[in-house]
Amino acid sequence: ETGVTQTPRHLVMGMTNKKSLKCEQHLGHNAMYWYKQSAKKPLELMFVYNFKEQTENNSVPSRFSPECPNSSHLFLHLHTLQPEDSALYLCASSQVDRGLGYTFGSGTRLTVV
């Protein structure tokens, strides 16, 4: 266990479904992130939340909608996804300006059918 917990571990959804990914960190960090990892591509930063405020949205399509109700929880709401959105979605957290690195969760393997 890394201290960052993601659920579910695996998710299969149809293109018309609505689902949510959940991330919870138990490290007392103040920043949380969503990354997408597709085959043969680098991890791509999707969203950044710093003290619950979204500070970055890397041109992510609106079918991905993040939510950060507090500094320990992060959600990624999904709707009308495409098959090319199938990937491993990783959550990470960090303590800003402490220089202690980023801690990742185990990810949610998403398959869109």
Partner 1 sequence: EDKVVQSPLSLVVHEGDTVTLNCSYEVTNFRSLLWYKQEKKAPTFLFMLTSSGIEKKSGRLSSILDKKELFSILNITATQTGDSAIYLCAVEDGPGGGADGLTFGKGTHLIIQP
Q: Which residues bind partner 1 (CB under 8 A)?
A: 2, 4, 30-31, 33, 40-45, 48-50, 55-56, 88, 90, 92, 94, 96-97, 99-107, 109
From residue 92, how far is each of 19, 52, 60, 67, 102 by CA, in Å? 20, 14, 17, 14, 6
CA–CA dist 86, 52 (Å, integer): 27
CB of 80 to partner 1, least distance (A): 26
- Closer by beta carbon to partner 1, 3 or else 65: 3
- What number of CA atoms fall less than 13 Å from residue 77's CA on the CB side? 7
For the chain, the residue count is: 113
The least distance separating partner 1 from the CB of residue 12, rounded to whole angstroms, comes to 17
Cβ proximity to partner 1: between 83 and 101 the closer is 101
Least Å distance, CB 8 to partner 1, is 13
